[in-house]
Amino acid sequence: MASPPTLPISNPQTTGESQQSTTTTPTPTPTPFLRVRTFITRLFGYTRRALSNRRPWIELVDRNSFSRPDSLSEATSRVRKNFSYFRINYLTLLALVLAVSLLYHPFTLLLLLSLLAAWLFLYAYRPSDQPLVILGRTFSDGETLIGLILLTVIVVFLTSAGSLLISAGMVGMAIVAAHGAFRVPEDLFLDDQDPSGSSGLFSYIGGVASSAAATAGPAVMSRV
């Protein structure tokens, strides 16, 4: 009498694992251009959100709210309160002064943009498994970092870029300080503002820096 044929026995767990392993595809590594694009997108998005919190410009230039301070202490108090209230507007004015200065000096603007591009593409967003090769010579991450630092020192201190940035910053701060000293803050709603003028003024800069660090952090930490 013939025995019945033996049926093949399959393990469902093994079959599921094999199917999962065959269907799983590796995630492609983002290119430096894609990382820089993500960084710029996040930066512009945070800038738009920050600018949406600015005060109406009509409050900034209201002619009826300007008067000469009676003493230095009163001028200092006005500057502190106005910094806390108009911090986004003041930062916008500083950025405009810097932008106008750079537009009047296109060579310096091109130099700074080239320096920023060198930092982004050669160090911050370059994959750590791809060494930098220039003229047939391979440079390590440490050598690349030292070279970029030296290049930054040369551009900032040995060209007109550094003096232009300092002079534009001083002009912008002078405009902001003069406005803050002569603008009477009694009509401003300061109850919900940060009492510390300096921390309120630089909160936007800190947010932009944190946004940039969140994007560049993994790429930079992989080299440390």
Position 161 in a domain: yes
Position 143 in a domain: yes
Q: Average of pLDDT values for 107-129?
A: 86
Checking if the pLDDT of 179 tops 70, the result is yes
Q: What is the pLDDT of residue 47?
A: 77
Confidence of residue 201 (pLDDT cuts 50, 70, 90): very low
Q: What is the pLDDT of residue 218?
A: 56
Position 19 in a domain: no
Q: What is the pLDDT of residue 216?
A: 56
As a whole number of angstroms, the longest Cα–Cα distance in the chain is 119
Q: Between the ranges 45-54, 136-145, 176-185, where is the mean pLDDT highest?
A: 176-185
* Whether the Cβ atoms of residue 108 and residue 102 lie closer than 8 Å to each other: yes
Tens-place pLDDT, residues 61-105: 888 888 898 889 999 999 999 998 888 999 999 999 999 999 999
Position 68 in a domain: yes
Position 14 in a domain: no
d(CA 193, CA 208): 20
Checking if the pLDDT of 124 tops 70, the result is yes
Q: What is the pLDDT of residue 11?
A: 54
- Tell me how many domains the chain contains: 1
d(CA 142, CA 28): 26
Position 166 in a domain: yes
* Whether the Cβ atoms of residue 21 and residue 13 lie closer than 8 Å to each other: no
Position 23 in a domain: no
Pairing mode, strands 132-134 and 137-139: antiparallel
User: Which residues, including other chains, have CB under 8 Å from residue 175's CB and lie 6 or more apart?
Assistant: 93, 97
Tens-place pLDDT, residues 9-18: 555 555 455 4
Q: What is the pLDDT of residue 12?
A: 53
Position 113 in a domain: yes
Token representation of residue 17: 């694992």
What is the residue-averaged pLDDT of the chain? 76
Q: Average of pLDDT values for 195-209?
A: 49
Checking if the pLDDT of 198 tops 60, the result is no
* Whether the Cβ atoms of residue 108 and residue 183 lie closer than 8 Å to each other: no
* Whether the Cβ atoms of residue 69 and residue 181 lie closer than 8 Å to each other: yes
Domain that holds residue 70: 31-221
pTM: 0.65
Q: What is the pLDDT of residue 166?
A: 93
* Choice between 213 and 198, residue whose per-residue pLDDT is larger: 213
Q: Which ranges of 120-202 would DSSP assign to H, the alpha helix? A: 141-157, 160-182, 197-201
Checking if the pLDDT of 149 tops 90, the result is yes
